[in-house]
Structure 1
Amino acid sequence: MKIRGVWLPNTDCLVLTSRQRIAQAMNFLAETGFNVVFPVVWSKGFTVYPSQVMRELFGVEIDPRYKGRDPLAELTIEADRVGIAVIPWFEYGFASSYNQNGGHLLAKKPDWAARDRNGNLLKKNNFEWMNAFHPEVQDFLLSLILEVVKNYDIAGIQGDDRLPALPSEGGYDSLTVWRYQQEFNCHPPHNCKHRSWLHWRADLLTDFLARIYGEVKAINPTLLVSMAPSIYDWGWQEYLQDTKAWLDKGLVDIIHPQLYRRDFNSYKYLVDKLVIEQFSSEQIQRLAPGILMNIGSSYRISPEYLLQAIGYNRSRGISGEVFFFYEGLRSDRDALAKVLRNGPYAEICSPYN
């Protein structure tokens, strides 16, 4: 698939704050040669669309910033107008909050909290986590995904390094411990990186992805199940993401490993590692790596690196990529967008070619 994609977050990005900005952004992306946009729809414990699921469970149907609007509906209309596919991105996945001690989700549902081996709320890199193994939590995430699938004109759905995922320090809640004891007649290893313990928990998340894949396809078999996980096998050890199993079991249609490196040689090394060690020749057709375009004001990819990365992707049989994130295209009077428009994205391209 020839994916020319870009992530559209609601942190450090104002596109979703008005219908006018959404329309302008879609015009800009189409003119630049993009064919897919991945807009955030689940972030910081809130949806970016009016959600009946959230209203019934938590009494808040949409992120307060968008009250009275439906940014996802607006975006699907504007993207369709210019021929861009929309794949909603469930950014936070099983994370409940960021430096909010679980936020409003775990305040309302404390038994949904993930726990580390000391019994504390699971926290990693300032994100607090729900228990990804809890049946109610899984049902909740799946219900959000299916709500979007049923109600919006979209091309697919996307998980990332937090869906399906859980920091490997987790899994020590009473429910998961009981489940492990029933199967093995012993307590889980104290060492959270014990290989059999990693495998057992990662397999539970793979099972959940299989459930997502099956239920999305049951509603519409043409929808794409897209994932943007951490790099294998670092992501397996740190976040229980067994992306090799996902590919081997056919649970992803397109995959965007986050190859977020700040120089070309480091990026090239990761591409080679994927192509040689993880992806079969058939699976490479599903691969469109995630490329780091910018981080706030602290980093922006150089035009030279940008062109090198795309060129190297093509040389390895990789026909697309996704950029994190939109605002990097607009910096310095759209400098990077012009590089793409006048170079590798000059010809119009459908993602389904």
Structure 2
Amino acid sequence: MVRTLLFASLALLLAGCTPAPVEDSPAEVRGIWLTNVDSDVMMSRASIAEAMQFLAEHHFNVVYPVVWNKGYTLYPSAVMDSLFGLPIDPVHEGRDPLQEIIEEAHRHGLRVMPWFEFGFAASYQAGGGHLLAARPHWAARDAAGRLLTKNGFEWMNAYHPEVQDFLLALVKEVVQQYDIDGVQGDDRLPAQPVEGGYSAYTDSLYRAEHGGQPPPADPHDPAWKRWRADRLNAFAERLYREVKALDPDVLVTWSPSIYPWAYDEYLQDWPAWLRGGYADLVHPQVYRYEFDAYRRALLSQGADSLGLTPAQHAKVIPGVLMKVGDYRMTPTLLRQVVQFNRTLGYPGEVFFFYEGLRLNDDEVADSLRASAYRTPARLPDFLLEPR
């Protein structure tokens, strides 16, 4: 026993950081989203380095840093520079937060999957912002011809080929230029509020396929919803195929809202992405404020409910709300949620978002470290197999 302890101590000293998971470690995705809203973690190299060390010490293994938000990138982007003269969020001018995160995360054995949070949104309560000011023909429209707006977000037209090419160019730029482990779309990529689809371009596209008939005036018409969702599905597949053509080892992950709400409100038919083979992971946002509501929501996302095979459903790992606005997840709720995930066979979870771990002297993080995350975890084998 003494000899074993001596060797273990020596290994830790040589590693200089949290020990790497071994073969008998649990196979789990333990993820966290890093935001640039209500968080300062990305504001300096020092805060990034401290955060990555903290996450490794608390046995996380994946970080999802935002790289596209408010119409800006959080890395120097040649695409944004050429189209809008805005190579990076002005707050980060002179830095490359994504590169800093990659270096510090990989130093501690954490995987990095950049998160394109803003998706097809153009702005938030800004009338389309600088994106639509420069390219007004990219605007999405509702049935009254107004700029498509939902919950304060103004939207680009997700069915327009220029808009699709733009988002795909951002994703491919990151894949080509950075040593990343994956990329992620979310509840706005690919997505479009169900109230949209009435721009001149989309109208002409629909008429060309329907004998000159205009789109239904009711945005909730089932066939009209299906037509639009199919185009978002095609974009998701295109993104997946083009990313894999650049680097087959880069995972393509998605974090939509729960189904069928995601489809009914934002035309996200994400079970089809799994059935079609263009999703390596899906993290449905099972965002609830108390356990019974979480339990009911997660139960509704089972394989049978979603029309998935067990192998397809194995790629579903829930997203969990840790903090938003004034809401704070308690350690008790956290333990209940993680235990319920394991009871249902889910190998992990992804938490929104990092700052929730650090509240009250790291109360939630320490509770997690003392319970479900007592030991390091390796990623599930299906994520490590050649794709």
Instruction: Give the TM-score category using the shorter length.
Output: over 0.9
Q: 1:92 aligns with which of 89, 98, 118?
A: 118
Q: 1:283 aligns with which of 302, 312, 324?
A: 312
2:327 paired with 1:299 = yes
User: CA deviation digits over 1:200-242, x for unaligned, max 9?
Assistant: 0000000000000000000111111100001111110110100
Query: Match of 1:57, SS?
Result: helix
Tell me, in whole angstroms, the C-alpha distance in 2 between the residues paired with 1:57 and 1:103. 14
Query: Match of 1:24, SS?
Result: helix
Query: Match of 2:99, SS?
Result: helix
Q: 1:62 aligns with which of 76, 88, 94?
A: 88
For the pair shown, which has the larger CA radius of gyration, 1 or 2?
2
Tell me, in whole angstroms, the C-alpha distance in 2 between the residues paired with 1:104 and 1:145. 20
Tell me, in whole angstroms, the C-alpha distance in 2 between the residues paired with 1:317 and 1:201. 33
Query: Match of 1:348, SS?
Result: coil
Query: Match of 1:274, SS?
Result: coil
2:133 paired with 1:118 = no
Q: 2:344 aligns with which of 316, 324, 334?
A: 316
User: CA deviation digits over 1:142-183, x for unaligned, max 9?
Assistant: 000000000111111000000000001110001111111111
Query: Match of 2:33, SS?
Result: strand
* Partner AA of 2:305 in structure 1: E
Q: 2:239 aligns with which of 197, 208, 212?
A: 212
2:260 paired with 1:260 = no
- Provide TM-score, normalisation by structure 2: 0.90
How many angstroms does 1:352 deviate by?
4.0
How many angstroms does 1:280 deviate by?
2.7
Tell me, in whole angstroms, the C-alpha distance in 2 between the residues paired with 1:189 and 1:96. 25
CA contact (8 A) 2:347 2:380 kept: no
CA contact (8 A) 1:284 1:317 kept: no
User: Which residue number corresponds to residue 327 of structure 1?
Assistant: 355
Tell me, in whole angstroms, the C-alpha distance in 2 between the residues paired with 1:348 and 1:120. 51
Query: Match of 1:16, SS?
Result: coil
User: Which residue number corresponds to residue 192 of structure 1?
Assistant: 219
Tell me, in whole angstroms, the C-alpha distance in 2 between the residues paired with 1:318 and 1:242. 21
* Partner AA of 2:150 in structure 1: K
User: Which residue number corresponds to residue 103 of structure 1?
Assistant: 129
User: Which residue number corresponds to residue 160 of structure 1?
Assistant: 186
Per mean C-alpha deviation after superposition, the further-off stretch among 80-89 and 299-308 is 299-308
Query: Match of 1:287, SS?
Result: coil
CA contact (8 A) 1:33 1:340 kept: no
Tell me, in whole angstroms, the C-alpha distance in 1 between the residues paired with 2:186 and 2:169. 17
2:45 paired with 1:19 = yes
Tell me, in whole angstroms, the C-alpha distance in 1 between the residues paired with 2:379 and 2:140. 38
User: Which residue number corresponds to residue 23 of structure 2?
Assistant: none
User: CA deviation digits over 1:72-92, x for unaligned, max 9?
Assistant: 000000000000000000000
Tell me, in whole angstroms, the C-alpha distance in 1 between the residues paired with 2:204 and 2:260. 27
Question: What number of residue pairs does the alignment pair up?
Answer: 352
How many angstroms does 1:243 deviate by?
1.0
How many angstroms does 1:284 deviate by?
2.8
User: CA deviation digits over 1:230-259, x for unaligned, max 9?
Assistant: 111111011010012111101110000000
CA contact (8 A) 2:43 2:92 kept: yes
CA contact (8 A) 1:287 1:320 kept: no
Tell me, in whole angstroms, the C-alpha distance in 2 between the residues paired with 1:283 and 1:344. 25
Sequence identity (%):
53
- Runs (4+) off by over 2 Å: none
